[in-house]
Amino acid sequence: MRSIHKIEIVFMILLMGILAGCGKDADSAKGDSIEILNVSYDPTREFYAKYNELFAKHWKEQGGQDVNVTQSHGGSGSQARSVIEGNEADVVTLALAHDITAIEENGLIDSGWMEEFDGSSAPYTSTIVFLVRKGNEKNIQDWDDLVKDGVEVITPNPKTSGGACWNFLAAWAYWQEKDGNDEEATKEYMKKLYQNVLVLDSGARGATNTFVENEQGDVLVAWENEAYLSMEEHPDEYEIVTPSVSILAQPSVAVVDSNAKAHGTKEAAEAYLKYLYSDEAQRLAGENYYRPSNEAILEEFSDQFHLDMNLVTIDDFGGWDEAYNKYFNDDAVFDQIYGQ
| pLDDT of 29 | 53
Convert 263-300 to b/e letters by CB count within 10 Å (16 or more is b).
Answer: bbbbebbbbbbbbbbeeebbbbbbebbbbbbbeebbee
Q: What are phi and psi of 247, to 5 degrees?
A: -140, 145
Question: CA-CA distances (angstroms) from residue 42 to 77, 144, 147, 188?
Answer: 11, 27, 26, 30
pLDDT digit string (tens) for 202-238? Answer: 999 999 999 999 999 999 999 999 999 999 999 999 9
Kindly tell me the burial class for residue 216, based on how many C-beta atoms sit within 10 Å of its own C-beta (0-12, 13-18, 19 or more): middle
pLDDT digit string (tens) for 251-305? Answer: 999 999 999 999 999 999 999 999 999 999 999 999 999 999 999 999 999 999 9
Q: What angle do CA 265, 268, 273 make, to 5 degrees?
A: 120
Q: Tell me if 296 sits within 8 A of 289, measured CB to CB.
A: no
- Long-range CB pairs of 284-288 (<8 Å, 24+ gap) are 284/47, 284/50, 284/51, 284/54, 285/47, 285/123, 285/124, 288/46, 288/47, 288/50, 288/225, 288/229
pLDDT digit string (tens) for 109-127? Answer: 999 999 999 999 999 999 9
**How high does pLDDT run on average in the chain?**
92
pLDDT band at 23 (very low <50, low <70, confident <90, very high): very low
Q: Tell me if 173 sits within 8 A of 312, measured CB to CB.
A: yes
| pLDDT of 134 | 97
pTM over 0.85: yes
pLDDT digit string (tens) for 81-97? Answer: 999 999 999 999 999 99
User: How many CB atoms sit inside 10 A of residue 165's CB?
Assistant: 29
Kindly tell me the burial class for residue 152, based on how many C-beta atoms sit within 10 Å of its own C-beta (0-12, 13-18, 19 or more): middle
**More confident call, 313 vs 1:** 313
Distance in angstroms (rounded) separating the CA atoms of residues 162 and 165: 5
- What's the start-to-end Cα distance of the chain, in Å? 81
Q: What are phi and psi of 128, to 5 degrees?
A: -115, 130
pLDDT at 5 over 80: no
pLDDT band at 247 (very low <50, low <70, confident <90, very high): very high
pLDDT at 8 over 70: no
The closest alpha carbon to 80, from 64, 63, 101, 61, belongs to 101
| pLDDT of 93 | 98
Distance in angstroms (rounded) separating the CA atoms of residues 123 and 117: 8
